[in-house]
């Protein structure tokens, strides 16, 4: 066990017996740390259900292409806890080192003095501490859950607030209506601070616009204040500041066109004046693992049938399933291949409505457990659900077993294989494949 693992294990024991849904614990520890949240580089705060990480990845790549130093805070991690903290540096950032992260966590643990606090709260405090002590030009700050009462919502005046597409997820915490969920996420909106709003269902959009009106925050809406479209394999973006004719995003899928356009709109609304070359380079260099990521090399990639494609996506809610299925349908139109899915999901997720998007698209599905996850949905339940939807399915013991079974199908042409259903599963896959995020 590493020092970081040991510290996190101790911090887990401090979890409050009752969560009172307030920021009181955050304000307490931040005061004891001498308010690092007041000593940060300019912040862009990002909430939403899907697309937060990809939008941040585009913003980071664009800013770094303009020689800016960019801190990034995201969650959850895929394989290593350090992935949550990226420290800006000239020429590109780096994940925080084990030593620096352990020191920050230990300092926060000491200042907290054994009082109740959640792991996400104290790790957010550690992140703010790290970011306050390393000079940078920007901090891209991702909300963990919701927005209004999220531990990141202690920034008094960011440069901009961003709300990516909102859909149903985490209903046990945020409620089971789009209006209620959107209201929680719109809680990051600050008085007078521009809010950039991705395409939204009508119910969510109304709630966001009402929250912005109460805060007197100028709203930049997709489709009204800026437009983006794919034309002849390029991304064309237009707003009041002009038109950008850009290459298609490196991150695959039509949903990434939306995320890329939100990133551009956010940077412009935040006051960044970047050359068009920075947008171009950012679109071509942005990386965000386990989001329609093609695994071309590695231990698992070596197990697939010759000529096959292996794709990985951590999508786990119905809207994520829709986006993945649309991306695969586009691939199928360009290069037809039989699609086989390997899936593992948490029992807390709406697996039926996730898989429904793949009906008529997937030839077969293999269900596997998520390693080291007590809340992993039993593969037999995934199989039953897939079969009810009309997707032939069976269980496999693990990813290696699933890939060997796919090889035994002797499909012609060679199949397109998708591993999906959980970020936790995606992290395990990257570990087993030997292609961890850097």
- Spatial separation of the C-alpha atoms in residues 84 and 95, rounded to whole Å: 8
What CA–CA distances, in Å, run from 131 to 36, 141, 165? Answer: 8, 11, 27
3-class SS of residue 421: coil
Dist. CA 296–CA 360, nearest whole Å: 26
Return the C-alpha torsion angle 353, 358, 364, 365, nearest 10.
Answer: -40
Domains of the chain, CATH where assigned: 3-285 (3.40.1190.10), 293-433 (3.90.190.20)
- Whose CA is closest to 53, among 269, 310, 238, 320? 320
**Whole-number pLDDT of residue 410:** 92
Q: Quick check: helix, strand or coil at residue 376?
A: strand
Q: DSSP string covering 30-44, please?
A: HHHTT-GGGSPPPEE
pLDDT of res. 319: 87
Q: Distance of CA 191 to CAs 18, 39, 152, 184, 343, Å?
A: 31, 20, 17, 16, 43
Q: What φ, ψ does residue 201 adopt, rounded to 5°? A: -60, 150
Spatial separation of the C-alpha atoms in residues 188 and 147, rounded to whole Å: 5
Distance CA 437, CA 435 (A): 7
User: Measured between alpha carbons, how far is 268 from 140 in angstroms, rounded to an integer?
Assistant: 14
Residue 422 in tokens:
């959980």
Q: What residues are paired with 230 via a beta bridge?
A: 235
User: The whole model's pTM is what?
Assistant: 0.94
Q: State residue 121's pLDDT score.
A: 95
Residue 356 CA, distance from chain mean position:
22
Among 232, 238, 154, 145, smallest CA distance to 184 is for: 145
Q: In what order do the strands lie in the sheet with 242-247?
A: 226-231, 234-239, 242-247
Q: What is the pLDDT along the chain (438 residues), one digit of tens a residue?
A: 688 988 888 988 888 866 667 899 999 999 999 999 999 999 999 999 999 999 999 999 999 999 999 999 999 999 999 999 999 999 899 999 999 999 999 999 999 999 999 999 999 999 999 999 999 999 999 999 889 999 999 999 999 999 999 987 655 556 679 999 999 999 999 999 999 999 999 999 999 999 999 999 999 999 999 999 999 889 999 999 999 999 999 999 989 999 999 999 999 999 999 999 999 999 999 999 999 999 999 999 999 999 999 999 999 889 889 999 999 999 999 999 999 999 999 999 989 999 999 999 999 999 999 999 999 999 999 999 999 999 999 999 999 999 999 999 999 999 999 999 999 999 999 999 999 887
């Amino acid at each position: 066990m590493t020092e970081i693992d040991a510290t996190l294990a101790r911090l887990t024991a401090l979890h409050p017996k009752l969560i009172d849904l307030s920021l009181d614990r955050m304000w307490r520890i931040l005061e004891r740390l001498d308010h690092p949240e007041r000593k940060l580089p300019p912040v862009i705060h990002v909430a939403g259900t899907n697309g937060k990480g990809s939008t941040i990845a585009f913003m980071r790549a664009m800013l770094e292409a303009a020689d800016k130093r960019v801190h990034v805070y995201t969650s959850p991690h895929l394989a290593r806890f350090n992935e949550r903290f990226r420290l800006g540096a000239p020429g590109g950032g780096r994940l925080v080192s084990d030593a620096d992260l352990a020191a920050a966590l230990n300092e926060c643990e000491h200042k907290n003095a054994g009082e109740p606090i959640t792991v996400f709260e104290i790790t957010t405090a550690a992140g703010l501490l790290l970011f306050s002590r390393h000079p940078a030009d920007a901090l891209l700050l991702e909300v963990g859950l919701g927005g209004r009462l999220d531990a990141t919502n202690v920034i008094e005046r960011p440069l901009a607030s961003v709300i990516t597409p909102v859909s149903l997820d985490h209903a046990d915490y945020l409620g089971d209506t789009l209006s209620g969920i959107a209201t929680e996420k719109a809680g990051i909106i600050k008085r007078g601070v521009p809010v950039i709003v991705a395409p939204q269902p009508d119910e969510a959009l109304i709630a966001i616009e009402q929250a912005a009106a109460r805060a007197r925050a100028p709203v930049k809406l997709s489709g009204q204040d800026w437009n983006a479209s794919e034309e002849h394999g390029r991304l064309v973006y237009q707003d009041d500041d002009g038109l950008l004719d850009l290459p298609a995003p490196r991150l695959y899928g039509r949903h990434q066109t939306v995320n890329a356009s939100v990133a551009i709109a956010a940077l412009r609304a935040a006051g960044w004046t970047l050359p068009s070359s920075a947008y171009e380079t950012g679109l071509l260099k942005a990386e965000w693992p386990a989001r329609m990521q093609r695994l071309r090399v590695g231990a698992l990639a070596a197990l697939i049938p010759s000529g096959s494609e292996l794709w990985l996506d951590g999508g786990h809610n119905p809207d994520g399933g829709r986006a993945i299925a649309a991306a695969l349908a586009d691939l199928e139109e360009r290069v037809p291949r039989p699609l086989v899915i390997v899936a593992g999901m948490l029992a807390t997720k709406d697996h039926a409505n996730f898989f429904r998007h793949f009906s008529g698209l997937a030839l077969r599905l293999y269900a596997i457990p998520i390693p080291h996850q007590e809340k992993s949905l039993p593969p037999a339940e995934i199989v039953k659900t897939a079969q009810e939807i009309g997707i032939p399915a069976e269980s496999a013991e693990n990813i290696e077993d699933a890939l060997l079974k796919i090889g035994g199908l002797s499909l012609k042409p060679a199949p397109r294989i998708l591993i999906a259903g959980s970020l936790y599963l995606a992290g395990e896959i990257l570990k087993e494949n030997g292609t961890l995020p850097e």
